[in-house]
Amino acid sequence: QVQLVESGGGLVQAGGSLRLSCVASGSIFSINTMGWYRQAPGKQREVVATITTLSSTNYADSVKGRFTISRDNAKNTVTVYLQMNSLKSEDTAVYYCAGHRRWSDAEPYWGQGTQVTVSS
């Protein structure tokens, strides 16, 4: 099993910045790509950014140039960050960290989510 714990959400004014963190622990050898997803009220969950074990990244078009995903691979944990700059009201959502399984197409491991609210 893998445990994911997010932190760093909060309330920020439009144009401001936040940095989200996600610490993965447990059987971290069983996950490879990690990502950040978000779900706004009344909308489906969507991918924000992903990062592979070799730190290759992908971003949703809506956040390119504003958000940066990074990861720190330690011996017993993996920490994934999402630096969010130039925040917009449409970035308001619950942000979830995900750890994709290395040997399976099953549902990724999910964190509990952290709320990001951008006031205009």
Instruction: For residue 105, give Cα distances in angstroms to 34, 45, 109.
Output: 14, 18, 11
Distance CA 111, CA 23 (A): 9
pLDDT class of 105 with cuts at 50, 70, 90: confident
Predicted pLDDT at 13: 98
pLDDT class of 103 with cuts at 50, 70, 90: confident
**pLDDT, averaged across the chain:** 96
Which residue's structure tokens are 């960290």? 97
Per the DSSP assignment, residues forming a β-bridge with 99 are 34, 109
Residue-wise pLDDT for 9-65, tens only, equals 999 999 999 999 999 999 999 999 999 999 999 999 999 999 999 999 999 999 999
Predicted pLDDT at 104: 86
Q: What proportion of the chain, given as a percentage, has pLDDT over 70? A: 100
Distance CA 97, CA 111 (A): 5
Residue-wise pLDDT for 66-99, tens only, equals 999 999 999 999 999 999 999 999 999 999 999 9
Residues in the chain: 120
* Maximum Cα interatomic distance, the chain, rounded to a whole number of Å: 43
Q: How far does Cα 7 stand from its chain's mean position?
A: 10
